[in-house]
Amino acid sequence: MTAHAPGDPNAPERIEVGSLNLRAAGWARAFFLRPSRVVALLWAVGAVAVGSVVPLYPWSGPALVALVVPACVAVVLAGMRAAVGERLPHWSLQVDVGLGNLLVSVVAAAGASQHVDLANLYLLVEVFALLYLPLRSALGHLAAAGVAYALVLGVGPARIDHPVDAWLAVFATGAAVGVVVAGLMSVLRTVAREDPLTGLANRRSWDERLDAELERARRSGEALSVVVVDLDGFKAVNDAHGHHSGDRLLQVSAASWQAVTRGGGDLVARLGGDEFGLLSPGADELAARSLARRLVEALPEGVSASTGVATWDRSEGASDLVHRADQAMYHAKRRRN
């Protein structure tokens, strides 16, 4: 086996598999986090699926119209979503799902005249609804699709042998897929917003909640305070006793803080490493400082922390508010040292 020096032009080309995987993951993330792109793709897939069966059978005139018109509508909607979909409000996806169920019902009724099963397209619509719509809305669309297909089978223009079996073949599968998708989405939403070590909210949840609370305080005029907490000597714990002990300290500290916060109003989050944040809607500076003292007092014996408090000044943004609390915490830590 011949070894080649770096830069040797005769060396075989290396394929950076890890880099390719990262690029693919980045593309997938960018695509699937934009539901307008996904719905545009599904409209195009539906149009192709319906259009592909048109030349295969001797359709009657009405059946041909019932296939071609929905396919053309799907093509137009795919183009519209690709072009301007991201400028449309999120609720417009409800319209796509409802219209998708309607068009699938039309082509399923037409396809039945030649024993062509197009009802499986319902599954594309319902999976999209479960992924991108609130669960209650998605279940409502699933129920509406079930009723629509029952009408197609019961009073549609083509007589279907064993209509109950045909309905169950689609919607029993749809129900099973729905349970799996809904369960996975629940897990992913939790993972995306929860720190896995402490069970507290993570930085993403903190940022989202802080933006929402700032907007609420701007409208209501109520106070809003932020407390930043940094454990003292955490690096020394890791160095002396190992990361397992450090992780255990973070977990115990997080549990103690959850016990002293004000119910559902406050949010405790792990901002990174041994730094934590407390978001306290309705708390002025005096109340926030009292809460910061309670956080320190709740720590296990022998553990201390430095805190910084900032109360919104009615004009600054989220990053400036947190920065002020950070700076107050660093000043407190320097005074302790």
Q: What is the pLDDT of residues 280-329, one digit of tens each?
A: 999 999 999 999 999 999 998 888 999 999 999 999 999 999 999 999 99
Distances (CA, A) of 253 to 250, 269, 300: 5, 12, 7
Can you tell me the distance from the alpha carbon of 304 to that of 80, in angstroms, rounded to the nearest whole number? 58
Can you tell me the distance from the alpha carbon of 309 to that of 322, in angstroms, rounded to the nearest whole number? 9
Task: Tell me the one-letter amino acid at 130.
Answer: L
Q: What is the pLDDT of residues 250-262, one digit of tens each?
A: 999 998 888 777 5
Map out the domains of the chain with their CATH numbers. Answer: 29-193 (no CATH), 203-336 (3.30.70.270)
Q: What is the value of pTM for the model shown?
A: 0.60
Give mean pLDDT, residues 125-140: 89
Give mean pLDDT, residues 183-209: 83
| pLDDT > 60? residue 16 | no
| pLDDT > 50? residue 200 | yes
Provide the mean pLDDT of the chain.
86
Can you tell me the distance from the alpha carbon of 178 to that of 122, in angstroms, rounded to the nearest whole number? 12
| pLDDT > 90? residue 2 | no
Closest CA to 124 of 206, 43, 57: 43
* pLDDT given for residue 238 in this prediction: 80
58 band by pLDDT with thresholds 50, 70 and 90: very high
Can you tell me the distance from the alpha carbon of 101 to that of 296, in angstroms, rounded to the nearest whole number? 56
Closest CA to 291 of 301, 304, 277, 302: 277
* pLDDT given for residue 264 in this prediction: 58
* pLDDT given for residue 239 in this prediction: 75
Burial string for 98-109 (b: 16+ CB within 10 Å, else e) reads: bbbbebbbbbbb
26-40, 46-60, 65-79, 133-147: segment of lowest average pLDDT: 26-40
* pLDDT given for residue 24 in this prediction: 60
Tell the burial category of 131 from Cβ atoms under 10 Å away from its Cβ (0-12, 13-18, 19+).
middle
Q: What is the pLDDT of residues 136-194, one digit of tens each?
A: 898 899 999 999 999 999 887 777 778 888 898 888 887 888 788 877 777 777 667 88
Q: Which residue has the higher pLDDT, 157 or 14?
A: 157
Q: What is the pLDDT of residues 64-105, one digit of tens each?
A: 999 999 999 999 999 999 999 888 998 999 999 999 999 999
